[in-house]
Structure 1
Amino acid sequence: MAGSRCSIMAFLALFFTLFSAGSSVAQVPLLMWSSDGLPPLASPAAGHITSKDQLTAYLTSAFGSGPHTVLLFLQDKLSKDDFTVFGGVFGNKQDSAFQNLEAALQSSSSSVTFPALEWSDSSAILSLLQEKLGASPLLVDADTLSHLSINTSASNLLLINLPYCTDLDKSCKEVLHDNDEIIGNVLSIMKDKNILYTAIYTGLKPSRVISETSMSNQPAGRSLLQAVVFDVKPPIMFNVSGNPCIMLWAQNLNISLSGAWIDLAAETPSMTGSLCNGSNSLLVLSYASGYTLSFAMSQRFYPVSARNWFTLDSVQLQANGLTASFIGRRNIYAPAEYSFHCQSVTSFRDILLVPNNTNQNTSLWRLNFVDFQIQGFGLANGTDFSYASDCAGFFTPGIWMGLVTGLLLLLIFVYGLHMIMQLHTMDRFDDPKGPSISVPQSE
């Protein structure tokens, strides 16, 4: 039974993944199953988004004649990612948040799935069902449903509202698991009442709205891989005779004078004045706004490690006729064939760039480089950095506190054990029944 449930959830996850091709249209999934039977649904093409008209046509064929009892499980938010993330497909089956839903899909006489249903407004699905059934929705819960008398000679639309992850005290998986328990309880009540029903599980709106690349302008046909272009700026690269020599990338190159921050990473610099050779590299970035950043690096052989290491010796900033200089002091280093990476390189907090006090203008400037990576030697090609040596230390403050506390407790334990081992018993005792011990005294 558990294997069948897992295979159903794996099928749903694979189904949703295959039909999650790029689109900028907001979508919600819709699961539909019945204890009475549903008309067959042809499998849509990959990337197909079911429109409202297509759903209307299917519901017309499903509810075209005779009375029907419909259970609408309407969740505040729902997306296909909820099934792949919280469905327990890749782990233990007990980790799934949709166990009752999986069991219902397996035990139903028929079921259909709309992995990508075009979403326009929150009341669309409810209005559509109300129109097709000719019945007003009745808001119920498990307790109300157990005492409700259902007239099966007329169509019924029973609405069960389900929350999403808005409660800060519960995770999304816990909320979805609670919703799944509600679904299981409602279906059990319908089974006890021996009432044929059609159940629908969908959302008022998508839980994740992700802007994806539209396929409308892509050529039709079969392809194994689709190239997705991300808006990531390329690294700054200085070439010598067509060969890459220096590479630098940063999310932000923030500089500040008297509190006003400027991000130079948004501008395209000129690298006039840059140079590199076997032992020294200088990257000069001149911006149209009048700022110039210079990164001076050097490498040397260290006999202790038997390898070459490079260091960022200094960073120099020139603007408005002023020059500020910051020294790396070997805080920024890596093996010569590696690149150096650090999430934050600043001159004022967790300092890696120390202001050069010999320059009076330096104290007026602040530097803050975010997601900073640089390599001045050993570049193999012009597209990628080499393996990065990160500035994050192995021992964090929390680890040091734990080690010091553990060492202190160990010393106390060893001292106490040593004191206990030094205790000795008397070799002679005074016997009250025998003669007392006398110690002769000499005069």
Structure 2
Amino acid sequence: MKMSGSRCRSSKRLIIFHVFFFTFAATGSSTPQVPVLIWSSEGLPPLASPAAGHITTHDQLASYLNSAFGSGPHTVLLFLQDKLSKDDFTVFGGVYGNKQDSVFQNLEAALQSSSSSVTLPALAWSGYSAVPSLLEEKLGVSPLLVDADTLSHLSINKSVSNLLLISLSYCTGAQMSCKEVLHANDVIIGEVMSIMKLKSVPYTAVYTGRQPSRVIPESSISHRPMGRTLLQMVQSDDRPPIMYNSSNSTCIMLWAQSLNISLSRTSSWIDLMNETASLEGSVCNGTHSRLVLNYADRYVLSFDMTQRMYPVSGRNWFTLDTVQLQVNGQTATFNGGRGIYAPAEYSFHCESVTSFRDALLVPSGSLGNSSDWRLNFVDFQIQGFGLNNGTVFSYASDCASFFTPGIWMGLLTTLLLLLILVYGLHMIMQLNTMDRFDDPKGPTISVPQTE
């Protein structure tokens, strides 16, 4: 859907903005998608209105960005939120005309005051956000991560293209509600817009998400496999595992639904699985494997694994000895050898690997300023040895013990019922029949009656 025009029509944009999102949120789609909002202080090329329910492809977005950034230098502000969906606007955007109830007041004000704006309600999402890479390709510059305070002191060269990345968090349910987080993000957008206005720098702003906040599965429930499935199967078709290759063969594989880190007990979680990582520094051999995930030198996550022979069990086992997190020159080390291990030819899988609750990752020694750093890996699976085909995990050794609390309750209940049954059978077997009876040929017993 398109929203563009001169300033004389700017008063209508807010109504179109709400009606647009309310209408498209009601249509629904089984394909994962993220909305994209684009507005500019100078002007944007027109965009034909798509049919209702249309999902914009990456090629269509690339074609539009080619026309928008055809020639000359451009300064682009990319507001990249961890998660974003149309439902966030319909639930928290005051779509019923109550402007005071909207958490996107600064965003709506920016759209209303801009020279022109374009809205893509549904951009196809396939496991990663295409917007940052497309902008980087069209502008020919790498993104610069900034915040409102950094931007206020930053000198922007108008003669060259600039891609300024403002990272916005999303609610995780751990600290703040979604409404509070989205309101805080809207405040950041308002601060950035005010700074750009003071600097008098022409800009184009883009607001989107790294992934949808609400993803509807592509396949229906009837097509899903029923019953138990092998753990070596990849958990998601949309996101392949991270693989490190050495000597033309894969020697380390890692997959997780999310790799969450938190740098304080009050800050929101950062999911590194949504970022693109470099594997430079990773090594592997017959006894030691090290997987290094370098996220543009902002965050560095390292997994150290060793393989050794244990004579008691008569087989080789591998252990995830340490997990290291480096941020801004500080390093925190978490030990995992006591709880994260598996036979050398297996992979290790666990539904939840944390450093703070039922911790499998134990902080090592004094962490100094990083003592409040926390890790939370969801649906985590890793293998550093014994990879044969290099495409799927080997059979997984799961961290969950066989005798879970539910199994213990069932066993104790069965034992109690069995004891009751045995006691009842024992009581029945103790019943005795009479061994003497009255002689039927003898005189009958008469009972005199008295009046």
TM-score norm. by structure 2 comes to 0.45
TM-score norm. by structure 1 comes to 0.46
Q: Which has the larger radius of gyration?
A: 1
